[in-house]
Chain A
């Protein structure tokens, strides 16, 4: 979990407490490609760093993460997006949420923002908090144009988190989503 992501989420949490207008701008930015909505620049760009170019995956992840946070500013450490979604699907006994999640897993970087916005809206409706720091770190890898191994590892982890929470039978196992996975070795 990167400190950079942590300080960024801390900054967004501060905005949520003191600057509702900023959140509105960030929410609007979800209608554009990540990093293509100038009104969001003042709140995000300083975290990007001068050495990164406009298409840098980390820059995109920051803008996308900021937009999602603004949509549902409830951060809770340890509850990954996938496990929050799994719990929600389990509580609602809904297969459509599982289908949405499957669509999310097969998403390419270009299609990811829209799907994530829908998913976060779902979580917001039920007031489920999400660990935005983890989400940001994962997005930084997922949005790489040729994600390869890194993206596959993240997709596998998301799938595990989701089904651990979703399958009532397996929810009793002590594998918690935030522990490093003993069954996942990096390639």
Chain B
């Protein structure tokens, strides 16, 4: 390993971003190619969800700054024109040439998205960490290992391209917590514990334009990391700062990292690491790619990935809610909807990418990428959105009632059914069993048709279709639960006693829009 003197690995020239072409070929391209040839690229092909979203965000910040600095103020009409005619190449090339020196991955003054001061700072001068420190999927320090058996003392080396992608994903999604270098603990990255959403186009240029944050005079000083001064140690110690806007959020150096190149500078084995430019979150300026659910206490809760819970159950958080009482969809979806409306795409379904990483405090839990195709009216028409929200809530409520009945049934198949510990145990058995997955996978099959019918304005048919889907799902979930409880006489008795209640629950679905109280079901 060396602390090199020559700048190497310029991200504008080196291939480091995996992209997929329309013929299915996947290969790495440089930042310049990704932006200039975006109309010939289908999408990014990065496989790690946090890195994928982080790469899109870097490209969005680049495109936004290129258009703003070279083109001056622009409006949605311009965006629609670029969408139809292609993004102009000249401003992008001019911008990249202007900032070329800031895109060296290894540089003696200002390495890309890193903090050079770590080479000199007493806290980090002698302290090298393995590259897994900045890889969200990697184990390092005292994290428990399952599949990753990397040794901190003898780290492997990875390509500089991969190290850079890991770095970007890490800076966006790192959870807050102890750092113990320069500062004891640090704030979370902009997307920590978030399922980020984006609208997708057929080609990369469309995807970028759909999610591009609008020009605004207020955020003219909203600069990405490469246009800001190289942070010194004092900046790392400073109090948390609000983001100046999307460009700052998309490229915030939320941890100070310095990749240390090997003697062959195309490989990285070690990094220097410290607290970064802490991000202060403000409820009034939410992340453009995060959806929020308004909790009962009025607090906005970010949409994340929950165990065993498919993204479609969070659909109400993706569709607009003018009342603001239930949820707040991601701003990028509104920008994408505006553009689709302007370009006259009313019938095509809108593919939405949901990707990210869920964490519990500093513990990373799971990451996921999902894609949901939404009809445009759901994103553009509040009434249609409200209808979908009501239907999905109906499904959730029904499951809640079914779960109560099934848990009661499981408890009464156990010894001492009335004891509260038995009831708690029954709920655990139920949650580890097939009930929820049987119910929601059955409901999910009816979802596309529900959305199509609501989008077409055929609410009655949608309602009937949904009610029969819910019945089928209840039936499936009941069958699965019954099968799991077995056929001992005690289980048979419990099932026999539960069936009239299940039948009543099913009949309640035939009475549209009546509130069946839980007491009624449990009576």
- Binding stretch for chain B, among A109-117, A126-134, A161-169: A161-169
B504 near A156 with CB under 8 A, answer no
**Chain B minimum-CB-distance residue to A160:** B496
A183 near B478 with CB under 8 A, answer yes
Q: Which residues of A contact B504 (CB under 8 A)?
A: 173
Interface residue ranges of B486-523 to A (CB < 8 Å): 487-490, 492-493, 495-497, 499-500, 502-504
Q: Which residues of B contact A182 (CB under 8 A)?
A: 503
Within 8 Å of chain B (Cβ to Cβ): is A185?
A: yes
Interface residue ranges of A146-187 to B (CB < 8 Å): 152, 155-156, 159-160, 162-164, 167, 170, 173, 175, 182-183, 185
A163 near B496 with CB under 8 A, answer yes
Within 8 Å of chain B (Cβ to Cβ): is A106?
A: yes
B488 near A106 with CB under 8 A, answer yes
A185 near B479 with CB under 8 A, answer yes
Choose among B475, B478, B493, B502 the residue that contacts A163 (Cβ–Cβ < 8 A): B493
A155 near B492 with CB under 8 A, answer yes
**Chain B minimum-CB-distance residue to A183:** B499
Within 8 Å of chain B (Cβ to Cβ): is A105?
A: yes
Choose among A156, A164, A167 the residue that contacts B492 (Cβ–Cβ < 8 A): A156
Q: Which residues of A contact B489 (CB under 8 A)?
A: 102-103, 105-106, 159
Q: Using C-beta atoms within 8 Å of the partner chain, give the interface range for chain B.
A: 10 to 19
Nearest chain A CB to B418 CB, angstrom units: 16
A164 near B496 with CB under 8 A, answer yes
A156 near B503 with CB under 8 A, answer no
Q: Which residues of A contact B475 (CB under 8 A)?
A: 183, 185
Nearest chain B CB to A34 CB, angstrom units: 23
Q: B471-484 CB contact bits vs A (8 Å, 1 = yes)?
A: 00001001100000
Instruction: Report the Cα distance A52→B495, complex, angstroms.
Output: 36
Nearest chain A CB to B147 CB, angstrom units: 37
Q: Which residues of B contact A159 (CB under 8 A)?
A: 489, 492-493, 495-496
Nearest chain B CB to A81 CB, angstrom units: 15
Of A103, A156, A175, A183, most buried by chain B (CB within 10 Å of CB) is A183
A160 near B488 with CB under 8 A, answer no
Choose among B487, B490, B499 the residue that contacts A160 (Cβ–Cβ < 8 A): B499
Instruction: Report the Cα distance A102→B497, complex, angstroms.
Output: 14
A152 near B503 with CB under 8 A, answer no
**Chain B minimum-CB-distance residue to A170:** B500
Instruction: Report the Cα distance A94→B48, complex, angstroms.
Output: 64
A175 near B503 with CB under 8 A, answer yes
Q: Which residues of B contact A175 (CB under 8 A)?
A: 499-500, 503
Q: Which residues of A contact B496 (CB under 8 A)?
A: 156, 159-160, 162-164
**Chain A minimum-CB-distance residue to B497:** A163
A155 near B487 with CB under 8 A, answer yes
Q: Which residues of B contact A185 (CB under 8 A)?
A: 475, 479
B479 near A156 with CB under 8 A, answer no
Instruction: Report the Cα distance A51→B35, complex, angstroms.
Output: 81
Known contacts A152-B487, A183-B475, A105 near B492 by CB under 8 Å: yes
A173 near B500 with CB under 8 A, answer yes
A residues within 8 Å of B by Cβ? 102-103, 105-106, 152, 155-156, 159-160, 162-164, 167, 170, 173, 175, 182-183, 185
Of all A-B residue pairs in the complex, the 9 with the closest CB atoms, nearest first, are: A159-B496, A159-B492, A163-B496, A170-B500, A105-B489, A160-B496, A102-B489, A173-B500, A106-B489
Can you list 9 A-B pairs, Cβ within 8 angstroms, ordered by A? A102-B493, A152-B487, A156-B487, A156-B496, A159-B492, A159-B493, A164-B500, A167-B500, A173-B500
B residues within 8 Å of A by Cβ? 475, 478-479, 487-490, 492-493, 495-497, 499-500, 502-504
Apart from A159-B489, A164-B496, 13 more pairs, CB < 8 Å: A105-B493, A155-B492, A156-B496, A159-B492, A159-B496, A160-B499, A163-B493, A170-B497, A173-B503, A173-B504, A183-B475, A183-B503, A185-B479
